[in-house]
Structure 1
């Protein structure tokens, strides 16, 4: 009893130990899966972080390149203004006294615009002297003395100094035209003088601009003055936002011996600078051009841009003071680059999480590519294993096929033996038929010619002619027999080359009708050609042999005075040619006998004509060479229809004409 009671307790202990082992195994498996997931997450984040830094580097390089492009444009404009200022300083160095200034045609024309020096009239170059043209040079306009006196910002010096400054400005006009050509982005060039004069390019009539009335109040002139620009450096200003065609203006003051004379100014359309910003890859990002006060000058985004950088990036320029890129999970990613020639910054701003999403997308694509490559590798290994198994199965199957092939070869050998035996019997029957058909005509010819040789001097002319016709008819029968024999043997031995060509079927039908004309005339039979103007692709010699044999049979089995028709009809891409007679026709048994392969006995015609027995056999073989077949339809006493088909073709001349029309 104790032993039996111990058995269940031992089994329960084993089951409990197994359950504990499985539970321990589950914990190890869960821990391994958790550790693998953590490691995968770390590697994935490492890849994403590296991708983010790579994107930041690419964007920073793009910002620097685009900032350099705008810098080059601004430096070129600033350099040409500096050249104009140096030319003005050189003029005063060459002609320090008003009495020494040159008197050119432009200055003369300018002074002649107000010959009486009327204080109520302005001065201008509205009428340029020859050879100057308005498209080549700008205008010089001066306020009248009365208008200049009413503006406190205008300080007109004595007449001599005023004329000296006018002479300097006249000499600057050609140089301003050159600057306009070299810097095509510039919309307008100005030199605004404190004496109430302005030189501008391109040329515009004085009464078509209100520049003189705003001369001393323009932002470019005021900001270039010593009050707002004590250092005398270049000054960049921007037109009001409400103006439809906003301009960026660069001003450079002209100061001699501490005295502010005026400012050189050029206007650049803001649209041209906006084009220099270029496009951004992401539609939710923006490329901005910001001035030193945080105002947004231009934006790459379509539509109206925000007024301040603070509206896009919290903190504005203060956050960009460090110079490096700014990014965070909940903050916009920002890269900036300062311009060297202007107090502006180029700023690239993307929404929060933007680069993170791009980096995650790239990494996910890479992971998917790796997984796809692994799957492809597994697929290739699987296919290789399947191919190895398939090779083994093919070897087994090859052995079976070899055994089956040997059996088929034995069967084919037996069939070939039977076929050779059949061909041998056919050959014997063929030679028997040929020897019989040749012996009869030759015996008759030998007897007739011997009779002529022995009794020709004593025979009448009519008997001699009758003998000659009989000999000719027998010779013709022998010739037809030999011709069909040669054609049939060549087809059987593949000795006749198949040379298809394009030709009108009417031509070969006409030749065949002429070949049987004498036989048809002897029986008063009409052969009517109704094949039409169709073109075929066939061997002309073989087609002629087919038609000649069919026509000879039709004449042979037609009653005297009958009619034989040759017709054709299209059947898809093939042409069926039929020879129809109203002769004696055939019984179904006779029709089946004629359709058998190989030469057979010939039936006599309506007037006892004999044949070779090879005609229809030859026709059937030649029709097969053209991809067709010989068809016979016959009724006793109602005639026979013999037809065959050949490939249809198009008229080459018509094809060339249509091709020429298509080319034209």
Structure 2
């Protein structure tokens, strides 16, 4: 410091400030330049990485198609090895129909098989005379090609499965050097055109042994009938070293994918630099398919960015096809994007500095706001505590109400149970004392009365047991899929004697429906509703059970034409906690406790359903409820047998 003081005094404070500002400016410039260079390197790395990822994805798609054709080729060779000539066609089989389409091998007529069923496709073949005259075809044995026809028909379902699993596949075909083609999907016109010229087309010529001695599958580009361009995955088929034909899959030219950054173009080129497909970012124009890319012969084969004219270019060679994926972006636009990103970064720093100036002001505002929020939170907590206290009081009142309801309910049940048991005790005592002196008719009458009293007591105990288990969650809820009609039939069987005593007809109109419910609980619901319907029906009346679908649920309704109810009675019946309020006598004075409808409501709620009651005095009552709807279990399906040849 002592050594620097004389030097500082000679320069002057103003110059020291200027030098300090200059040093800061130089440091800022260096930092900005370093940030720009790092941003430039990062952007280049991201673009190259995006190109590599897209190339890997495209290679995966192309390799899968080649593997599919190679699978068909291997299956074909295996079939030919396992089925030596001669081939015997089963009568009526597709192969027999194919061979019978030109039994005399007329020179002006093709062997053909219509595409029925759909998975067979279209099969065409030239007669022997015509095949021997075609350039590029050979048929030394007039019947050896029958094996290839049988092979094509056997592999037709596999070819159809491959095509349908990839909706963009236009067609899959087998073209034989013996003058036979099989095309999937079935297309007689397209198959005829293929048969007329496949031997001169590039896929067949490139698969020949002199061009492809290793019999490797490959991709090639060809023109379709509309003048567009297609891609074909081709696999040669051979038997014991003899070239027989090809399996080919025609698809639209693969999409290179979206341009990975603004101002870029992503193109797929063949080995000659011709554009197969290209996509451009907004603001750029993609080269047209079929156009030769300028300077394509000088493009590097490495993935790194390199200068080519006014553009930066990155190339990724595909492994599955003789094509290249090329990323093109203008140098000026690339630098402008980097400069824009740098300016944005600098603006972010300035914004952070400006935000620091406002921090103190915001802190003061925050302290005041926190005090106000603390006061508001205290008021809200007090209100929430009061609300919670009210809810606890309401819950306590509800629990007290339910407890009193259960106490009163069981008191009522115990009282109503005494009646049937007193009747049972009296009648059995009478039978024990005087059965020897009573007539058979009197004994039978006593027995019927005893049975009715026992039945009433049993129904009351059964409903009480069901209700108590539901209330105490002691009965497991075990839903399963079953036929609704079977449960309705069982419920009608349980109340059949009661209905017969009043000559009430029970009609089942639920139809064929399957539900997902607890069968025991559903049976209890239907039995109680049917008992009530019979109880309040007039003698010789009708009770019917119907059902209808409501979305994913089914509504089951029990309808009678008896005495009906008033609106107040319906509302009381549906009110929660109204069980055990007593029951009206039936049309013949039948007595009840009201427990049945309480049990019905609880069991319907267990299934997440709704209970509805529609009634009119003197016209009858309809009680309906909903349960989940299910589909009928399907039978096991056996695999279809292969079509005989």
Q: TM-score, normalised by structure 2?
A: 0.50
| CA displacement, residues 317-352 of structure 1 (integer Å, 9 cap, x when unaligned) | 644223323359x75233333323222222221111
Match for residue 125 of structure 1 among 107, 113, 125:
113
CA contact 1:95–1:101 (8 Å) conserved in 2: no
Q: How does 1:405-424 map to 2 (within 5 A)?
A: none
**Are 1:358 and 2:358 counterparts?**
no
**Partner residue of 2:258?**
278
Larger Rg: 1
Match of 2:64 in 1: 76
Per the alignment, residue 259 of structure 1 pairs with 242
Are the counterparts in 1 of residues 266 and 278 from structure 2 also a CA contact under 8 Å?
Answer: yes
- 8 A Cα contact 1:290 1:297, kept in partner: yes
Asked if 1:346 is matched to 2:325, the reply is yes
The reply to whether residue 108 of structure 1 matches residue 96 of structure 2 is yes
Q: Secondary structure at the match of 1:136?
A: helix
- C-alpha distance in 2, partners of 1:233/1:333? 35
CA 1:154–1:95: 2 relative to 1, 3 Å: same
Q: Deviations over 1:271-296 (max 9, x none)?
A: xx22x5134441x3111112233222
Q: Name the residue aligned to 2:166.
A: 183
- 2:27 counterpart of 1:51: no
Aligned partner of 2:55 among 67, 74, 77: 67
What's 1:150 paired with? 133
| SS of aligned partner of 1:211 | helix
Aligned length: 357
- 1:323 aligned counterpart, secondary structure: coil
Cα deviation digits, residues 400-431 of structure 1 (max 9, x gap): xxxxxxxxxxxxxxxxxxxxxxxxxxxxxxxx
Q: 2:301 aligns with which of 300, 321, 341?
A: 321
TM-superposed CA distance for 1:85, in Å, is 0.7
Higher relative contact order (CA 8 A, sep 6+): 2
Cα distance between partner residues in 1 of 2:61 and 2:305: 25
Q: Secondary structure at the match of 1:185?
A: coil
> Does the 8 A contact of 1:122 with 1:142 survive in 2?
yes
Distance 1:321 1:336, change over 3 A: closer
The RMSD of aligned alpha carbons is 3.3
Distance 1:26 1:243, change over 3 A: farther
TM-aligned CA deviation for residue 103 of structure 1: 7.1
Cα 1:30/1:242, change in 2 over 3 Å: farther
What per-residue deviation string (whole Å, max 9, x for no partner) do you get for residues 196-253 of structure 1?
Answer: 1111111012587422221211211111112322221122111249954321111111
Map of 1:404-553 to 2, 5 A cutoff?
none
Structure-2 change in CA distance of 1:371 and 1:383 (3 Å): same
CA deviation string 1:294-314 (max 9, x = no partner): 222110136652656642xx4
Equivalent residue, structure 1, for 2:606: none
Measure, in 1, the Cα distance between the counterparts of 2:171 and 2:84.
29
| Partner secondary structure for residue 159 of structure 1 | coil
Q: Return the alpha-carbon distance in structure 2 between the equivalents of residues 384 and 81 of structure 1.
A: 70
Q: Is the 8 A contact 1:280 1:300 kept in 2?
A: no
State the TM-score, normalizing by the size of structure 1: 0.49
Does 1:293 find its partner at 2:276?
A: no
- Unaligned runs of 5+ residues in structure 2 are 1-7, 368-645
Match of 1:335, SS? Answer: strand
In 2, the alpha carbon distance for the partners of 1:41 and 1:308 equals 45
SS at match of 1:266: strand
Select 1:367's aligned residue among 329, 333, 346: 346
Could you give the per-residue CA deviations for residues 517-576 of structure 1, whole angstroms, max 9, x where no partner exists? xxxxxxxxxxxxxxxxxxxxxxxxxxxxxxxxxxxxxxxxxxxxxxxxxxxxxxxxxxxx
Residues 181 and 191 in structure 2, CA contact (< 8 A), matched pair in contact too? no
Kindly state the Cα deviation for residue 82 of structure 1 after the two structures are TM-superposed.
1.1
Q: Which residue of 2 aligns with 1:138?
A: 121
CA, structure 1 residues 93+207, in 2 after alignment: closer, same or farther (shift >3 Å)? closer
Shift of the alpha carbon at 1:120? 2.1
**Cα deviation, residue 111, structure 1:** 0.8
Looking at structure 2, the residues matched to 50 and 268 of structure 1 have their Cα atoms a distance apart, in angstroms, of 43
Residue in 2 that maps onto 1:332: 311
Whether the aligned pair in 2 keeps the contact of 1:101 and 1:164 (CA below 8 Å) is no
SS at match of 2:58: helix
Is the partner of 1:347 in helix, strand or coil?
Answer: strand
Tell me if structure 2 keeps the 8 A contact 1:76–1:183: no
Kept after mapping to 2: 8 A contact 1:190/1:198: yes
1:333–1:349: 8 Å Cα contact kept in structure 2? Answer: yes
- Aligned 8 A contact 2:87 2:146 in 1: no
Contact 1:66 1:277 survives alignment (8 Å): yes
For 1:357 and 1:87, how far apart are their aligned partners in 2? 56
Name the CA shift for 1:160/1:240 in 2 (closer, same or farther; >3 Å): closer
Q: Which runs of 5+ in 1 are unaligned?
A: 1-19, 389-664
